Amino acid sequence: MNIIDISIILIYVALTLAVGIWVSKRASKGLKSYFLGGNGIKWYYLGLSNGSGMFDVSGTAWMVGILFLYGVKSFMFMWLWPVWNQIFIMMFLAVWIRRSNIMTGSEWMLTRFGDDRAGRAAHSIVAIFAVIAAVGFIAYFFEGVGKFMTVILPWDFTWQVGETVLLLSEQSYALIIIGLTTLYTVKGGMFSVVATEVLQYVIMVIAGILVAGYAFYEFTDLQINAIISEEWKNVFFDWELGSHWSSKYNAFNNLIDSEGYKMFGAFIGMSLFKGFFASIAGPTPGFDMQRILSTRTVKEAAYMSGFTALVLYIPRYLLIAGIVVIALVVLGPGMAADAGLKGAELEVLLPKVINFHVPVGIKGLLLAGLLAAFMSTFSAFVNAGPAYIVNDIYKKYFKPVASDKHYIRASHIASVVVVALGVFMGFFAESINSLTLWITSALYGGYVAANFLKWIWWRFNGWGYFWGMASGLFIATLQFILDQNKANLEVGTWLHDLAQIPAIYVFPVIFAVSLLGSFLGTFLTPATGMETLGKFYMNVHPWGFWKPVVKALNEEGRTISKNNEFWKDMGNCAVGIIWQSSMIVLPIYFMVRDYPKTWAALGIFIVTSVILKYTWLDKIRKIPN
């Protein structure tokens, strides 16, 4: 790697560390200051920070691979997560969550279910969920950043000190970067995380623009159109995927057939089903939740969530589309000639392009940008996970009275422990992929039903929440174990056939079992006290089935009307999903030089922005400060 590229990366690392430590003194005023920035950080900084935290390296590499193979309609794969949960947060959930005025998503359970045994059961299972997820993701990041750093610094230094042989390799690089990131994150809490993530966002945007500019001017329309087909550029789809590639590139058509998404209509339908309930359930207890709770006011929580969606997609997909254009022209013909082409080769397109097909200077900025993407996502989890350990476990159950200095010290220890556990698990490289799949699919799948009901149904109580989460996660884990052992199952048996079903199609089963656990736990135990429900409804004011609570409040003389804005919010969400989708396809069409579709995407973006100005922004502006 050229000295210019190395210098850019080293300057970036030094600058990030300096900024993180420089602002760290502001975190020493207490837990609220440490984990939420004292609710004093401006919403647009939090929005940039939130967007930066979602700009992760692994996700970027995955998106490069699926865009390369499936073309423009690949953006619908993102509905698996679903990416448009940010739209639901923007439209109404951010307002509901911020009105709670608490520190963590686990603490929020006490305001919904009360501080009795049932409420504490709900409170505890969310705290445990958050800590397990944070440790698992740190383990994944440890494994991922090691491989990434060997692309940036592809040297294995070995030297001998006496009889001891020291090796600086993949895991050593990972420990160095994680150590540096942990240093400023632990020292500065939310202030350091936000300050460095804003810097990292700027680096990522510059890298994306430069890569897109290079790809745009280096490769011609003829070179791109000689490889991709009209179907590759078509955003619409039938029930079954057709041929995306010409006969010259038939190896890619064969790869699509073997990937398990041939029945695209059913796949998208199931993604929509899961996405709707997962989005209404709200953000999982992680960094997204912490950004909402860190805002200064309810109004700013909504602004921050909308700004996150606005600043994330166009810069990110400029980078992704730029990498894909280079890969299509330079690597596509050679890959298509490989008779044994496997899906795993799509995962290495990003490092291949970086290593061999990006010019000096741009390569350094791109690598600094991707390193920034890792550090911002990692630091977000390091800040979010310990909040649940200290505030929801240690302070709640072990040390309810102590000084701010004591809790800050406990937060430092908790952060180091979470990172250490994640790094320890990261050394078991073969198990990390399985662990990550369990967290993102099974663990999150079991989260949906109970967290959907908590918003909309007054009778749903803490035990219902606990057993809904527990039963859903139990079935999801069984499905995961079955999937991991399908190679050992006898062909032709019902277990073998069951194990072949993709995880997305098992979601209705997980959801149904979790619903059953929620209903049984609720109806077999007493309802949450009306005083707790009344306080919650007066504060949060969600829509749904709250008639008995509204009636009780009015009988007490507290005049309050039922929230009837469900259809307005759903209409805004539908417009918002189209708005968000236009920001994804716009840079893709621009980079592959399909200008009519580029203008169409831009027109849709403008029209939906105007609609949301009147239906969402004007409504948010009316919220009292």
pLDDT in tens, 139-161: 777 766 666 666 556 555 555 45
pLDDT tier, 322 (very low <50, low <70, confident <90, very high otherwise): very high
Choose from 14-28, 184-198, 279-293, 446-460 the range with maximum mean pLDDT.
Answer: 446-460
Instruction: Write phi, then psi, for 103 (nearest 5 degrees).
Output: -105, -30
DSSP, collapsed to helix, strand or coil, labels residue 358 as coil
Q: For residue 195, give the nearest of 119, 294, 78 by alpha carbon.
A: 294
Tell me what pLDDT residue 166 has.
Answer: 47
Tell me what pLDDT residue 402 has.
Answer: 81
Tell me what pLDDT residue 373 has.
Answer: 72
DSSP label at residue 346: G
pLDDT > 70 in the chain, percent: 82
Q: For residue 350, give the nearest of 56, 87, 60, 19 by alpha carbon.
A: 60
Written as six digits, the tokens of 389 are 């350990």
CA distance 256 to 181: 38
Tell me what pLDDT residue 328 has.
Answer: 92
Full-model pTM: 0.85
* Interval 503-524 mean pLDDT: 86
Tell me what pLDDT residue 74 has.
Answer: 86
* Interval 490-503 mean pLDDT: 65
516 pLDDT above the threshold of 90? yes
pLDDT > 90 in the chain, percent: 24
613 pLDDT above the threshold of 90? yes
**CA atoms in the 13 A half-sphere facing the CB of 23:** 21
Tell me what pLDDT residue 103 has.
Answer: 67
* Interval 325-329 mean pLDDT: 92
Q: What is the pLDDT of residues 460-489, one digit of tens each?
A: 999 999 999 888 878 877 776 776 666 666
DSSP label at residue 366: H
Q: What is the pLDDT of residues 272-303, one digit of tens each?
A: 887 888 888 877 766 677 788 888 899 999 99
| Residue 618 near residue 303, CB atoms below 8 Å | no
575 pLDDT above the threshold of 70? yes
561 pLDDT above the threshold of 80? yes
Tell me what pLDDT residue 503 has.
Answer: 63
| Residue 437 near residue 480, CB atoms below 8 Å | yes
Instruction: Write phi, then psi, for 461 (nearest 5 degrees).
Output: -120, -175
Burial of 125 (0-12, 13-18, 19+ CB in 10 A): buried
> How crowded is residue 570: how many other Cβ atoms within 10 Å of its Cβ?
16
What are the chain's domains? 3-217+278-429 (1.20.1730.10)
Tell me what pLDDT residue 433 has.
Answer: 46
Question: 365-374, 533-542, 590-599: which range is least confident on average?
Answer: 365-374
Tell me what pLDDT residue 429 has.
Answer: 47
CA distance 120 to 370: 40
According to the 3-state scheme, what is the secondary structure of 187-239? HHHHHHHHHHHHHHHHHHHHHHHHHHHHHHHHCCHHHHHCCCCCCCCCCCCCC
Written as six digits, the tokens of 355 are 């290593």
Of residues 10 and 55, more confidence is placed in 10
* Interval 106-127 mean pLDDT: 86
* Interval 593-597 mean pLDDT: 94
CA distances from 262 to 2, 221, 244, 257 (A): 43, 29, 11, 6
Tell me what pLDDT residue 165 has.
Answer: 47
94 pLDDT above the threshold of 60? yes
pLDDT tier, 598 (very low <50, low <70, confident <90, very high otherwise): very high
CA distance 313 to 43: 18
Of residues 503 and 13, more confidence is placed in 13
